[in-house]
Amino acid sequence: MNSLTGKVAIVTGASSGIGRATATLFAQEGASLVVAARGRPGLDSLVAEIEAAGGRAVALAGDVRDEQLAKALVDTAVARFGGLDIAVNNAGTLGEMAPVHELSTAGWHETIDTNLTSAFLGARYQVPAMVERGGGSLIFTSTFVGTSVGFPGMSAYAASKSGLIGLAKVIAAEFGAVGIRANAVLPGGTDTPMGRVVISTPEMRSFVEGMHALKRLAEPEEIARSMLHLASDAGSFITGTAFLVEGGVSICRT
């Protein structure tokens, strides 16, 4: 039996990168999926791929900063599949990149709202649905940026993604007694469309690879497998963690 058989999962930011790899893997492991992203074409191709492989998925396109989307995702999970067991709050943006004294207030707020406030809005509706289900697993995609390494020009991104760790810890403490787990996954450098915005030259790629003990970037599927561990019963005693999946970037000095 696959490890997520009978489970229902929401994955945001699912049209590409880590989100798409996670949704695909969860479907392969038996979960029914509600997937979200801003772009409809990427979502439609993902749903078609999942259904062609015998899985079940439904897509909602929208902006994760919209509280109504957060509610609609949970409502859809309940109406279409009977409940909610897993939520991967993964959608995010690099946002405006500039030294802190040049970063616009609007750029700061856009990044915080997209990466952090959206996760709060998601959890606001996901947690009650999981309580009804008797438990569940919330997963937030954080990063090594701002936790292990301070990249110049990325203060808003680092602050927003670091905030997810605190959010996960508090949710874990508040709802652990009713069977809800919450964790933040901290990927290292990963070969995704978003990652390539920063890692935009061969020289920059070589530099970032060298920051990691494994001397390479992750593939999205490698991060997805860590999400699966936390979502499934394999991670049944893991909660409130900043779960490092970062190729040793935090310990590498060579």
Distance separating alpha carbons of residues 185 and 194, to the nearest angstrom:
17
Please give the sequence-ordered ranges of beta strands (E in DSSP) within 38-112, or none if there are none. 56-61, 86-89
For tokens 């390479």, name the residue.
216
Span 72-88, mean pLDDT? 98
Span 114-139, mean pLDDT? 98
The residues that are catalytic are 157
Distance separating alpha carbons of residues 21 and 213, to the nearest angstrom:
24
Sketch out the chain's domains with CATH numbers. 8-191+219-245 (3.40.50.720)
Query: Which pLDDT score is estimated for 1?
Result: 62
For tokens 């004294």, name the residue.
101
- The Cβ-side half-sphere exposure at 18, using a 13 Å CA radius, reads 31
Torsion angle defined by CA atoms of residues 29, 74, 78 and 234, in that order, rounded to the nearest 10 degrees: 30
Residue 197 pLDDT class (50, 70, 90 cuts): confident
Predicted confidence (pLDDT) at residue 198 exceeds the cutoff of 90: no
Span 24-29, mean pLDDT? 98
Contact 148, 249 (CB under 8 A): yes
